[in-house]
């Protein structure tokens, strides 16, 4: 689904599918250089990072491992509660791995901060963050994001894995959801 298919549900498109693919290819080149000769594990944060993780991994030309963690701090709300719940833990022991957390968006940073602390206690060789999107004005904690796609305004966005109440994840672009949809 493209933004043109649901114009009444959107305020504006922030990032197109084409811009996303170009940025993920650029980030993949940096990651390959930085992790040359290292045992790399991509950890996707479900459900939002599915699209980012899949497309980013396809841009890599080296062997990597992948695992998934499901955490929630939103529920069906448009704002983070700040309380992190583990819905699915990793299947991989992080000992000996260089971990790259792949995120769709850094909003308040609270969930990601919790993940970084949690992973640090599991024996990884290193832990870095790749995020497609970041909302600098929404940050409640500072997150060191080594690989960043785009800074966006502090609006409620959907698409490319981001949802509102489990809808709109299949939108190929990232767009601002019109307030009348969730008001």
DSSP 162: B
Task: Please state whether 135 falls in left (phi above 0), alpha (psi between -120 and 50) or beta.
Answer: beta
Question: How many CB atoms neighbour CB 143 within 10 A?
Answer: 20
What string of H, E and C letters represents the secondary structure of 79-103? CCCCCCEEEECCCCCCCCCEEEEEE
Using DSSP, how many helices (H) and how many strands (E) does the chain show?
4, 9
The span from the CA of 111 to the CA of 100, in Å, is: 15
Report, as residue numbers or ranges, the catalytic residues: 107
Q: Are 45 and 74 in contact (CB under 8 A)?
A: no
Q: What are the beta bridge partners of residue 44? A: 68, 102
């Amino acid at each position: 689904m493209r933004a043109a298919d649901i114009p009444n549900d959107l305020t504006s498109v922030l990032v197109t599918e084409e811009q996303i693919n170009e940025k993920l290819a650029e980030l993949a080149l940096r990651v390959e250089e930085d992790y040359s000769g290292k045992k790399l594990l991509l950890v996707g944060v479900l459900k939002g990072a599915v699209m980012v993780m899949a497309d980013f991994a396809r841009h890599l030309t080296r062997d990597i491992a992948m695992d998934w963690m499901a955490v929630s701090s939103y529920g069906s709300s448009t704002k983070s509660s700040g309380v992190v719940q583990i819905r699915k833990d990793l299947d991989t022991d992080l000992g000996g791995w260089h971990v790259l957390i792949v995120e769709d968006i850094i909003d308040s940073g609270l969930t990601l901060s919790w993940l970084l602390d949690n992973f640090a206690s599991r024996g990884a060789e290193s832990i870095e963050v790749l995020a497609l999107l970041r909302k600098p004005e929404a940050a409640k904690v500072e997150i060191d994001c080594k690989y960043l796609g785009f800074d966006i305004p502090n609006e409620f966005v959907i698409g490319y894995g981001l949802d509102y109440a489990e809808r709109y994840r299949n939108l190929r672009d990232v767009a601002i959801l019109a307030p009348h949809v969730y008001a």
